[in-house]
Amino acid sequence: MGIVNVTPDSFSDGGQWFERDVAIAHGRHLLAQGADILDIGGESTRPGAARVSEREELDRVLPVVAALAGHAPVISVDTMRAEVARRAVAAGASIINDVSGGKADPDIARAAVESGARLVVSHWRGHSDVMASLTRYGDVVRDVRDELAEQVNAALAAGVRPEQIIIDPGLGFAKDAEANWALLANLEQLQELGYPVLVGASRKRFLGELLAQYGTESLPTFRDRATAAISALVARAGAWGVRVHDVPSSVDAVRVAEAVNAADVARRQQHQEAPQ
């Protein structure tokens, strides 16, 4: 899943793709590099970010979705608003990627029901301006799994079909570095919920904190190799998808993971077929 931020203030590439024509060209470039999905968003969720108006978000997102819908196999709209989701799906999106997991606007589940679009339900505790104060957990893996289950159940109660749902642990959202690493190390506990898992670790602060310990430049754009390492690890663990800024490095990482998984399967089959 390649990221197209049509925003002036995203933490990693704020403003770089803000102009409409530039965002459209960037989306096409990500597709040429191997992205299967384009995730188009018009509101930054970086720590401390203020919300934009619904009108502003619509003006940013809809023209880009409409322009890229004929080129991309799958378009995802990154929004927490039901009206933006509805209109983006009408313009050609088929996935609603809600980082609030239905909590910011409970009507977003109805948008998925009405349109038939898939719905990414992310673990979330609060908006960007308060999430840093919401990082206390008992057992973070258990707590995130249980809270995600509650969010999924709310979507199901609203009429979303199980096959529409994708879950996301929400790395970086009300989570410190230790919590993010714990979730990545225990992805199988989230998979036990029975839904495809999307992982969005790309260029996030916890990667910069890790690299800084080794004297490596920790600016967001220098974190793509670390992001690709996570892409390989979670692909090996069976994640459904990875949401990334730099597509080629993660495409290669996923291919490596697939080759290792294929070799593992072949070896197991060979042992099963061998005469006893």
- 20-52 pLDDT, tens digit each: 889 999 999 999 999 999 999 999 877 767 788
Instruction: Report the alpha-carbon distance of residue 3 to residue 122 in Å, rounded.
Output: 16
Average pLDDT score over residue span 110-125: 97
Residue (of 170, 171, 174, 167) closest to 192 by Cα position:
167
Q: Cite the beta strand spans of 47-196 per DSSP E.
A: 74-78, 95-98, 118-122, 165-168
**Is the predicted pLDDT of residue 111 greater than 80, yes or no?**
yes
Q: How far is CA 235 from CA 156, 197, 228, 230, in A?
A: 27, 10, 10, 8
Catalytic residue annotation: 204, 243
Question: Which pTM does this prediction carry?
Answer: 0.92
The 10s digit of each residue's pLDDT in 202-254 is: 999 999 999 999 998 778 889 999 999 999 999 999 999 999 999 999 999 99
From the CB of residue 239, how many other CB atoms can be counted at a distance below 10 Å?
Answer: 22
Torsion of CA 251, 257, 258, 262, to 10 degrees: 160
Distance CA 229, CA 249 (A): 9
pLDDT at 172 over 60: yes
Under 8 Å CB-to-CB from 157, ≥6 apart: which residues?
none
Tens of pLDDT, residues 62-110: 999 999 998 999 999 999 999 999 999 999 999 999 999 999 999 999 9
pLDDT at 136 over 60: yes
Which domains, from first to last, does the chain contain? Answer: 2-273 (3.20.20.20)
Max CA distance (Å), the chain: 68
Decide: helix, strand or coil at residue 48: coil
